Chain A
Amino acid sequence: MTVKTAAAGLVLVLLCGCETVQPWERGLLAKEGMQWTPDIMDARLRSQIYASKEASSGGAGAAGGGCGCN
């Protein structure tokens, strides 16, 4: 019981460390360094070539043929 309470308390204390992005801080999320990929066009092109070479289009989540032509 004591261990459980202590663990619950610890989780709560750790949760308090979670930060919310405030509305006025959202510009930070729009910065280039915060993107999943540095260049979206380049990432899509690479993904298309990869799917074409591997004949595995759809593996990355998109439907389509494997010819690299779509």
Chain B
Amino acid sequence: MSVVKRFLLIVCLVLPGQLQAAAVVGEVAPELSLPEVVGEETISLSSLRGKVVYVDFWAAWCGPCRVSFPQLQLLRDDLGEKGFEVLAISVDEQASDARAFLEEVPVTYPVVHDGEGVTPAVYGVLGMPTGYLIDREGVVRDIHQGYRKSDGEKLRAKIVTLLGEE
């Protein structure tokens, strides 16, 4: 077997495992539809079209997520009327873990659950938490990995810019 053929064999065997669809800046965010953590409703991303949406992948065991929640709530309180919404997706295996977290850190924005890990795989989440800032047209405009206290103001500036776009 020639070197080229061997290389192609390796590529064919290994690559399928590495290739994953992912949300990319500048492209339309993949659709998702998930049940609420607290409540009976199913919320889809397309139902929020027309708003600037921050899709936040988080987990109850994730420390920085605990920092991000109050700040995202504040952003939503301040900018909600202008058309900003947060859609938090809990990737906890058990929804009960997410519920316990929400009792400690309550928020009023929608929180949905994906215990199977389907949506984070589709979005290509690389760390916890990861946020996708999506504009009114449903296009991913920014990807935010991790979360520090100082990130709130930077995020606010980006959201305000997107809210100002027609």
Verify if B120 is at the interface (C-beta below 8 Å from A): yes
> Are B14 and A28 touching (Cβ within 8 A)?
no
Q: Give 22 pairs: A residue, B residue, CB < 8 Å, sorted on A.
A: A5-B1, A12-B9, A12-B13, A13-B13, A16-B14, A16-B17, A22-B117, A22-B120, A22-B121, A23-B125, A23-B127, A24-B57, A24-B59, A24-B91, A24-B120, A24-B125, A24-B128, A26-B128, A27-B59, A27-B62, A27-B92, A28-B93
Mark B7-27 against chain A: 1 for CB-CB distance below 8 A, else 0: 001100110010000000000
Encode A8-25 as 1/0 by CB contact (under 8 A) with B. Answer: 110011011000001111
What A residues does B91 contact at CB under 8 A? 24
Is the CB–CB distance between A27 and B14 below 8 Å?
A: no
**Residues in A lying within 8 Å of B, measured CB to CB:** 1, 5, 8-9, 12-13, 15-16, 22-28, 30
Q: CB-CB < 8 A to A25: which residues of B? A: 117
Measured CB to CB, the nearest residue on chain B to A27 is B61
**Inter-chain contact B14/A15, CB cutoff 8 Å:** yes
Distance, CA A16 to CA B62, complexed state (A): 29
Query: Of B10, B121, B125, which contacts A12 at CB under 8 A?
Result: B10
Interface residues of B in 66-122 (CB under 8 A from A): 91-93, 97, 117, 120-121
Chain A interface SS verdict (over half): helix
At the interface, yes or no: B139 with Cβ under 8 Å from chain A? no
Interface of B is mostly: loop
B91 → chain A, closest Cβ, in Å?
4
B14 pairs with A24, CB closer than 8 A: no
Question: Residue of A at shortest CB range from B119?
Answer: A24
Q: Which residue of B lies closest to A28 (CB)?
A: B93
Q: Which residues of B contact A8 (CB under 8 A)?
A: 6
Nearest residue, chain B, Cβ from A24:
B91
Bound: A30/B97 CA distance, A: 13
Give the distance in Å from the alpha carbon of A31 to the alpha carbon of B72 in the complex: 28
In whole angstroms, how far apart are the Cα atoms of A59 and B91 in the complex?
A: 42
Residue B140, interface by CB 8 Å: no
Shortest Cβ distance from A43 into chain B, in angstroms?
A: 22
Q: Is the CB of B10 within 8 A of A24?
A: no
